[in-house]
């Protein structure tokens, strides 16, 4: 395939960015999207030009690093996949593809397609820890009865990879889906009950301090989430927060 790539280039957070056009040919439909960008970068390096900076790590849909907009959609046109799982067979010969970074005040651009998502790390750190002894005297998993529905829901919430697609897709740049997933994975399990009140209060406060917007239940976050994190987690977090506010 021969493609035209329109890629956002920005040297740093302080510099003004712009879309730059690149022509690329001989693209195999079996290439992943990131492999296609690797080929482009190799061509740029050989020409003595600056390669396009983009985040990646596992390339298996696990780490969430490969976050970017592809033709205006978080992680591209396929559903329930990250960009590294997107293949060029999703496009046609002669297509023009727009590639841009996440757009959110709390996710400032570092360079080109790379944004600073350390706000997510600080929110998780604000959640603290669980006081259950997990080393030296570890209990057998089956010694604490947990309802299957709760265990399944906790596991589903824990599949959030923190890619930021929810924030990027939200008209308010809200991080509610991400934060609620992290709250839910502990709120549903007995191990998370001891610090439950402080956890939800601290995480929501940190989310607000980072400059994320409010949730208006539009639902774009769930639609664009590559792991299908449910909006039900937001409702659960709201209940946890309300309960914690009365206790506090």
pLDDT digits (tens, 9 = 90+) for 126-140: 998 888 776 777 677
Task: Return the pLDDT at 41.
Answer: 98
Task: Return the pLDDT at 248.
Answer: 64
Asked if pLDDT for residue 183 goes beyond 80, the answer is yes
Give the integer Cα–Cα distance in Å for 59 and 50.
23
Q: Three-state DSSP class for 96?
A: strand
Give the integer Cα–Cα distance in Å for 234 and 178.
9
Can you give the residue ranges of every domain in the chain?
3-111, 117-247
pTM of the model: 0.93
CATH fold for domain 3-111: Ubiquitin-like (UB roll) (3.10.20)
52-73 pLDDT tens trace: 999 999 999 999 999 999 999 9
CATH of region 117-247: 1.10.1060.10
49, 182, 67: which is closest to 125 by C-alpha?
Answer: 182
Asked if pLDDT for residue 35 goes beyond 90, the answer is yes
Q: Three-state DSSP class for 110?
A: strand
Average pLDDT, the chain: 94
Contact 188, 154 (CB under 8 A): yes
Give me 107's structure tokens.
């996710």
Q: Three-state DSSP class for 3?
A: strand
Task: Return the pLDDT at 202.
Answer: 97
Task: Tell me the pLDDT band of 88, cut-offs 50, 70 and 90.
Answer: very high
What is the Cα gyration radius of the chain? Answer: 20
């Amino acid at each position: 395939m021969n493609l035209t790539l329109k890629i956002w280039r920005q040297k740093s957070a302080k510099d003004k960015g712009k879309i730059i056009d690149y022509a690329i040919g001989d693209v195999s439909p079996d290439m992943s999207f990131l492999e296609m960008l690797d080929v482009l970068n190799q061509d740029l390096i050989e020409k003595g030009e600056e390669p396009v900076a983009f985040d990646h790590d596992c390339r298996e849909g696990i780490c969430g690093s490969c976050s970017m907009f592809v033709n205006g959609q978080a992680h591209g046109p396929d559903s329930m996949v990250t960009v590294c799982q997107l293949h060029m067979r999703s496009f046609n010969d002669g297509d023009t593809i727009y590639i841009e970074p996440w757009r959110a005040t709390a996710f400032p651009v570092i360079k080109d397609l790379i944004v600073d998502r350390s706000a997510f790390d600080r929110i998780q750190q604000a959640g603290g820890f669980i006081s259950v002894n997990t080393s030296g005297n570890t209990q057998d998993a089956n010694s604490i009865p947990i309802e299957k529905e709760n265990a399944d829901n906790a596991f589903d919430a824990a599949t959030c990879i923190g890619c930021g697609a929810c924030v990027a897709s939200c008209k308010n740049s809200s991080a509610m889906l991400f934060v609620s997933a992290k709250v839910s994975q502990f709120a549903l399990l007995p191990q998370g009950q001891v610090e439950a009140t402080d956890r939800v209060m601290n995480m929501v406060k940190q989310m607000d301090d980072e400059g994320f917007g409010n949730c208006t239940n539009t639902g774009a976050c769930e639609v664009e989430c590559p792991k299908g994190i449910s909006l039900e987690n937001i409702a659960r977090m709201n209940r946890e927060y309300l309960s914690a506010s009365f206790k506090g």
